[in-house]
Amino acid sequence: MPHQLLPPPGGAWLSSSEVTQRLRAEFDWVDVDPETGKSQALALAGHLAAVKAPKEEVTRIESLQHEAVYFVCCDDHADDEQTLSFVVMGHEPLYIGYTDDRHQRKSRPVLQRCASALGYRIA
């Protein structure tokens, strides 16, 4: 089951630069990739269009492509099962997906540390 990270009720969304700063203070390895973020945003917009989402939603996601940043964080980037990746894109939840149940279980401490470092909650 995928997870989301988002601010607590009434909390503020963090900018990608603030996310970068906080994650780099928490983890030994953080990769920040704006190009992949842009392509992920465009892929999401394409998917939404394909499933006939409202045009306004597709346009909104497309408009966020220039501020979208892809993040990968972990302490040991050689261990894919303890690595998380997500896109920071405006005021959108950070969607965390997993390759399988084992990845989800093994990366749970990383997810909890991400949430704590960002001051976000896990949903």
The pTM score is 0.88
Tens digit of each residue's pLDDT (9 = 90 or more) over 43-86: 999 999 999 999 999 998 899 889 999 999 999 877 888 899 99
Q: For the chain, list the strands marked E by DSSP.
A: 3-6, 29-33, 69-74, 84-88, 94-96, 121-122
- Domain positions in the chain: 3-122
On whether the CB atoms of residues 104 and 83 are closer than 8 A, the answer is: no
Q: What is the DSSP letter of 81?
A: G
How would you list the strands of the sheet with 121-122, edge to edge?
Answer: 94-96, 3-6, 121-122
Tens digit of each residue's pLDDT (9 = 90 or more) over 25-41: 999 999 999 999 999 99
On whether the CB atoms of residues 61 and 41 are closer than 8 A, the answer is: yes
